[in-house]
Each structure stands twice: as C-alpha cells, then as structure tokens.
Amino acid sequence: MNTIRISAIIPCRNEEKGITKVIDRLKPLVDEIVVVDNGSTDQTVDVARNAGARVFVENRKDRHGIGYGYAIQTGMEQARGEYIVVVDADGEHPVEVIPNLMNYFIDGNYDVISCNRVQRVSSKFISKVREFGMKLLNLEVKVFYGYEMKDAISGMVMIRKKAYAMLDLKEGGWDLSPEIKLSAIAHKRLHYGEYPIISIVRESGESKQILWKTGIQHATYIIKHWYQHIAMPKVRQLFDRTVSIVYDRAV
C-alpha cells in the first residue's frame, strides 16, 4: 500500500457545515483530497481549502441545471493518484473501508468498482419510495445489460486513473453515476465489479435531488446508453455484414 497513490474526489455544493469532517476522515486513508465545488453560495471553497484539500471550481451545469457529473470529471482530470475514489461531501459514505476496498480492487485486478449500499445503519436513511426506485433501476440494468447490479446509482466508486479516459464520460449531471457503471460494463477491455458498503446517516444538509425527477432521468438514461453503446453497434455490425455478403455475391 505504501507504493500506491490514492486520490479522493469530493464533488460538492453548499457543504460548508460537513465538508471538514469528511476531509478529516479521509486524510489518513488517501494521498490527496480533491474537492470540486459546483456553484456554492456559502463558504464551502474556503472551508475545504483550510481543511487541507486541493480545491477546484467547476461551474458547468447540464440541461437540468445540475453540475454533479462535471465536478467529478474535473476531479478525475486533476487527480494525481493512480487510483481514484469518489465520495459524497455529506458524510454518507463509509470512507473507512477504503483500505479494504483498495485491497479488493487490486486482488481482483479491477478497473472500476462501485460500492453498492447493501445496508444502512438507520431505517430513516432511505424511504420506501427511494428503495423501490433503486430496485427498478437495478432490474432495468439486468434486462438491458444482463448484469445483476446491486446499486445502479451509488455515488461511491473507485477507478483506475488510466481507465477514466477509456470510459469517455459525457454526462454532467446526476446521470454520471450510472454512466460510469454502464460504460465500464459495456467496455470490452475494462473489468467492473461491486463492493458492499453500509451507508451511515448523512452528516449535514439535505439531498439536492428531486427524487421522482432524478429517478425518471436515470431510467431514461439507462435505455439511451444501451441503445447507443449496445444496440446500435450490433445493428451497424449486422448491416456491414449484410452489405459484405451482397457485395461478394454481386462480384
């Protein structure tokens, strides 16, 4: 582990109350902490910088006015470590598992791992509606990709720095979360896996997602990604094969 460099990325917006606690928890576990602010109107930037993080500002937003995905992409581009772990700024993710996660990552020779939230320490942490929505999204991934995913929208992921460019990520909003996972599954040269975690009660702040709206966007995006990266390549391959057969017979 002494020869491994790990960068932690924290995308955030208006998290001045809890960001210091997350940074302090990460300090003994990683080599650098990269905080990427996406339009905070409070003192998040100054607080994070004073806590010892490298801080960047990414103001881009997607068509829905969300910049979560852009913040993560900027963090991955700026990260100096060979391995990158993305965690939320609200303290939900159990960052203390990073050493075990890193060992699992290396032992399995993975390129991307998603930390699936198999359990929560408090029943109030997740509503029945949210839980039902997650199950539907997981089922959708199974139907279209043939992969039995445990948590299609988990925000805690670990990725090799060199794998980032291979994923060719595009989404600037909440859909970056499923995009990372689906792109890794669809990529023929990348090894994808999952690692179970137990989420903890949010340290501060409220969720910035509108539950039903984000859920519909995720469900739509999964189909869109499948069409672009799975269905259309097969159609093009079939078309090319048909044209080749017709040409060979013609000549």
The answer to whether residue 194 sits within a structural domain is: yes
pTM of the model: 0.85
Calculate the average pLDDT of the chain: 87
In the predicted structure, residue 24 carries a pLDDT above the cut 80: yes
31-52 per-residue burial string, b: 16 or more CB within 10 A, e: under 16: ebbbbbbbbbeeebbebbeebe
Residue 250: pLDDT band with limits 50, 70, 90: low
Distance CA 7, CA 29 (A): 10
Q: Distance (Å, rounded) from C-alpha 199 to C-alpha 103? A: 20
Contact in structure between 112 and 158 (CB atoms under 8 Å): yes
Q: What is the pLDDT of residue 124?
A: 47
Task: Note whether residue 211 is domain-resident.
Answer: yes
Whether residue 142 lies inside any domain: the answer is yes
Q: Is it the case that residue 139 has pLDDT exceeding 70?
A: yes
Residue 1 lies in a domain: no
Cα gap 171→77, rounded to integer Å: 15
The residue type of 213 is K
pLDDT in tens, 53-75: 999 999 999 988 999 999 999 99
CATH of residue 53's domain is: 3.90.550.10
Indicate whether 60 belongs to any domain. yes
Q: Which residue has the higher pLDDT, 119 or 85?
A: 85
| Domain hosting residue 143, numbered range | 6-250
Mean pLDDT over 41-53 rounds to 97
pLDDT at 3: 79
Output the CA–CA distances (angstroms, integers) from residue 89 to 35, 48, 131, 168, 224, in the order listed: 9, 10, 21, 25, 29
pLDDT of residue 229: 86
Q: What would the mean pLDDT of 210-239 be, rounded to a whole number? A: 80
Instruction: Check residue 204 and report its DSSP letter.
Output: S
Give the residues across from 192 on adjacent strands.
112
Number of domains in the chain: 1
